Structure 1
Amino acid sequence: MKINQLWQQIPHGAIVTTAWLTAHGVSADQARKLASSGWLQRVGHGAYSRAGDPLSWESVVFALQSSGESESPSLWPGGQTALALQGFAHYLPLGSGTTHLFGVSATRLPGWLKDADWAGRIAFHTDGSLPASLAGSFERVEPSGKTFALTISTPERAILEWVAVTPNELLFSSELVDTFDGLNTLRPRRLQALLEGCRSIRTKRAFLVLARHAGHAWYRRLALDRLDLGRGKRQLCQGGKLDREFQVTVPETFTDAH
């Protein structure tokens, strides 16, 4: 392949793996030669970018997603990161804070990522309570300022992921509560499918308490009788009150008495 053709095929700011390069007609040996001659920049073992391109955590996700073979991603931006990419979490500015990536249990982040200061702080979650195979889990989004798209969690999945990985003491923080207040466009049918497929009783009960408190129209369209919410009482905060509907101890202002 001619160098200028390869240059056009690698998206600006993306990282590509040797598997990607091989699929595009460039052998591992050719890639090493292109790197030594200054056309490609070696990012880490088996990973390259166009020389001089700015890199970010999105570059990493592109590399890991584009080298996969299955339709369903093994790693994806989720939780508050996915919500921020879609404009829901206005108080979580992109490019700062922590990037939350989710993946199936067998997924491993590349070793070279540890030394990649340009990627920022990354939290990797392998919570298995929301199978990646659930319908309505993912959509394609082109991050602002990028020329490539990533597969990320839909808003409906992302808010469930955020609840799932949040410790009890932060479940009723202003970050989550304010986010719920802004989620007035969630699709109840998609939420229903995700809630029915969610394996965590704690995540489902906490989500429903927060959703009921936000009071959006989509909450009233959920078929709660079709959800497995387990048995017995659960405690989600210290010194709270028992919510009779969902049998969880929560701050008093979040109970069904309000």
Structure 2
Amino acid sequence: MKINQLLHKIPHGAVVTTAWLASHGVTSDQARKLASAGWLQRVGHGAYCQSGESLGWESAIFALQTSNDTELPSLWPGGQTALALQGFVHYLPMGERTTHLYGNEAARLPRWVSDAEWAGQMVLHSEKGLPAQLPGSFTDYAPAGRAFSLRVSTPERAILEWIAVTSNELLFSSELVDTFDGLNTLRPRRLQALLEGCRSVRTKRAFMVLARHARHAWYGRLELGQLDFGKGKRQLCQSGKLDREFHVTVPEAFLYAD
């Protein structure tokens, strides 16, 4: 392949792996030679970008999502990161921004990603009872100033992911509760499918309590009778009271009122 053709195929601002290069007719040896000649820049073991590119965490995710042939991504931006990207989280916790990634049990971050200062801090969570193949899980997100898009969690999936990895102590924090107040445009059909496929009873019960408290119109359109909430009582709050509808201990302000 001619050098100009290759450089034209690498999206602006993206990192590509040797697997991606091989799929475009460039061997590892050729990639090393292109890097030595200054056409490519090596950013880590098996990872390259065009020389002189400004990189960010999105650049790394592009490389990871395009390094396999599967239709579903092996890892993806989810939880509060996906909600923030789509305009649903209007403030972030104090301190360094963290990119929250989710993936299947086998997903790992390569060392070149973990070591890359330009990628910032990343945390990889397991899917926590939310299989990636559930309908309505992903949407495309095009980062500003980049010539590529990423697969990220839909808002409906992202809020469930965030709940799944949040400790009981923080479930009813202002960060989550305030975010719920802004989720008035969630799609009930998509939520229904995700909730029916979710295997975490804790995630489903906590979501329901928070959603009911937010009083959005879509909550009334969920078919609760189709959902498996498990059996027995669960404690989501140390000094709370029992919610009679979902059988969880919650702060008194979140109780179901007859």
Ranges in structure 1 where 5+ consecutive residues have no aligned partner: none
The correspondence of residues 177-192 of structure 1 with structure 2, limited to 5 A, is 177-192=177-192
- Deviating 4+ runs (over 2 angstroms): none
Q: For the Cα contact (< 8 Å) 2:38–2:51, is it kept in 1?
A: yes
Instruction: Determine the structure 1 residue equivalent to 2:212.
Output: 212
Amino acid at match of 2:27: S
* Aligned-partner Cα distance in 2 for 1:198–1:190: 12
Instruction: Determine the structure 2 residue equivalent to 1:32.
Output: 32
* Aligned-partner Cα distance in 1 for 2:26–2:114: 27
* Aligned-partner Cα distance in 2 for 1:87–1:127: 22
Q: For the Cα contact (< 8 Å) 1:89–1:179, is it kept in 2?
A: yes
* Deviation of the 1:114 alpha carbon: 2.4
* Deviation of the 1:206 alpha carbon: 0.2
Change in 2 beyond 3 A, CA 1:96/1:7: farther
Q: For the Cα contact (< 8 Å) 2:15–2:48, is it kept in 1?
A: yes
> Please, what TM-score do these two structures have when normalized by structure 2?
0.96
Q: Deviations over 1:173-221 (max 9, x none)?
A: 1111111100001000000000000000000000000000000000000
* Aligned-partner Cα distance in 1 for 2:240–2:203: 18
Instruction: Determine the structure 2 residue equivalent to 1:251.
Output: 251
CA RMSD of aligned residues (A): 1.4
Instruction: Determine the structure 1 residue equivalent to 2:231.
Output: 231
Q: Deviations over 1:109-132 (max 9, x none)?
A: 101222211111111001330000
Q: For the Cα contact (< 8 Å) 1:80–1:100, is it kept in 2?
A: yes
* Deviation of the 1:49 alpha carbon: 0.6
Q: For the Cα contact (< 8 Å) 1:76–1:153, is it kept in 2?
A: yes
Instruction: Determine the structure 2 residue equivalent to 1:126.
Output: 126
Moved more, 24-33 or 195-204: 24-33
* Aligned-partner Cα distance in 2 for 1:31–1:142: 27
* Aligned-partner Cα distance in 1 for 2:22–2:68: 13
Instruction: Determine the structure 1 residue equivalent to 2:146.
Output: 146
* Aligned-partner Cα distance in 1 for 2:143–2:237: 36
* Aligned-partner Cα distance in 2 for 1:105–1:221: 33
Ranges in structure 2 where 5+ consecutive residues have no aligned partner: none
* Percent of pairs with identical residues: 73
Instruction: Determine the structure 2 residue equivalent to 1:166.
Output: 166
Q: Deviations over 1:25-78 (max 9, x none)?
A: 211111100101111111111110111111111111100111111111111100
* Deviation of the 1:96 alpha carbon: 5.3
